[in-house]
Structure 1
Amino acid sequence: MTAAIDFYFDFSSPYGYFASTRIDDLAQKYGRNVAWHPILLGVVFKTTGASPLPQLPLKGDYSWRDFERTARFHGIEYKRPTHFPLPTTHAARAMLWLQNHHGDDLAAVFARSVYRALFVDDINIAEPAEIMKLAEPLGVDVQALDAGATSYQIKDQLKAEIEVAMAKGVFGSPFVIVDGEPFWGFDRFDQVEAHLKSRRQTELRAVPNLDTKEKKPA
């Protein structure tokens, strides 16, 4: 079976949001599934020494301009959030709980709704109550979700999964690993597609032509 695309993201990442609107369609086009992995850039930055782009001198003003320009270029709905940067720990833990108890598909729906809440509806997703409101339409037990998201089990799981991600070389959001090949940034999605296309062509060439019958000697 063809390997899934590993998609790493932080809910506070604008480029991660843009990527979240494209990753599933891109994967489906080439017969792949997507494994969604929430991470916390704050944890990663302690190792890399990086900071959120809008907080950096000179780069900050440019980044805000580029967020809006990128959204326009790709036709993605976007509104500059009032609450930014902000912690996304509760959202990430809630997603892990949903993956554990309701499966990857519903968790991905939740992830997209959280991203939209921040970057379209300007909702403060750092507030646990707002995260629970976003989960309600999914038909899950929000009390169980809220309790699960604050449990030691989920806290330890998120910590462990971030450590695994960093061990694989993940250092930003969005970050895609496909067939062992790493790609950082939404602006690398053309390269991701080129890789998927090349791998698909290689796989098709390896499949024997079942319509070709061996000719018998006259």
Structure 2
Amino acid sequence: MLSGMADPVEFYFDFSSPYGYLASHQIEAIAARHGREVRWRPYLLGVAFKETGQKPLVEQPLRGPYHQHDFARSARRLGLPFRLPSPFPFAGVAPSRAFYWLEERDGALAKRFALKTYDRIFGEGRSVNDAAAVADVAVSLGVDSAALVAGINDAAIKDKLRAETEAAIKRGVFGSPFIYVDGEPFWGHDRLGQVEEWLARGGW
């Protein structure tokens, strides 16, 4: 199947999600093997937590220590570096706004920015939770830092992220990563195998 003949794989994620980081390094290759493109969609997982009544994984009793172990183990399996940043968890508002500002100008660049931001956060363990840190990532990709900071603070971009988050939750998105293939939802990095099988088989 040629790219463009089928709907893109929809990849919802939060920049504060370690499992989103792991999935970000795999989703494009998975989709490409089946002639699909990927639509990257950052949203604010904290808003979804208010709907579900949950807390971030690392703050949950019993589950927290397990997931901290699993983050690193899963990264080693993929050959990816892993370090939790401080503070963690954090609000991914600034990088999410930056993504949508960039996407309006260059969709491919926005994806590169998202991946590089994830690498900065979880590959290097460095916080990217404010405009200055976001601009530092963007500059390395040739983006004008002053323009990006202005974009992050633009009312239209703030509204865009708010609308994307509301639309995601209304659709049923509650985790990161959360992936749709032709309307079929898959939650979690550990469902990427099913995502690929669904793409190959067309469902079951």
Helix, strand or coil at the partner of 2:140 = helix
Contact 2:81 2:124 in 1 (8 A): no
Question: In the TM superposition, what is the alpha-carbon distance from 1:151 to its structure 2 partner?
Answer: 1.2
Deviations 1:13-68 (A, max 9, x none): 00000000000111111100000000111111111111100011111111101111
Helix, strand or coil at the partner of 1:8 = strand
Q: What percent identity do the matched residue pairs reach?
A: 47
Contact 2:131 2:152 in 1 (8 A): no
Pick the aligned partner of 2:10 from 2, 6, 9.
Answer: 6
CA separation in 2, counterparts of 1:74 and 1:140? 30
Pick the aligned partner of 1:192 from 175, 190, 195.
Answer: 195
CA separation in 2, counterparts of 1:47 and 1:19? 24
| Structure 1: gaps spanning 5 or more residues | 201-218
Contact 2:21 2:122 in 1 (8 A): yes
Helix, strand or coil at the partner of 2:104 = helix
TM superposition score normalised by structure 2:
0.94
In the TM superposition, 1:100-111 aligns within 5 A as 100-101=104-105, 103-111=106-114
Helix, strand or coil at the partner of 1:189 = helix
1:128 is matched with which residue? Answer: 131
Contact 2:12 2:176 in 1 (8 A): yes
Pick the aligned partner of 2:178 from 175, 178, 185.
Answer: 175
Contact 1:88 1:126 in 2 (8 A): yes
CA separation in 2, counterparts of 1:69 and 1:82? 19
Matched residue count: 200
Helix, strand or coil at the partner of 1:138 = coil
TM superposition score normalised by structure 1:
0.88
Matched to 1:192, the amino acid is V
Instruction: Tell me which stretches of 4 or more aligned residues in structure 1 moved more than 3 Å.
Output: none
Larger radius of gyration: 1
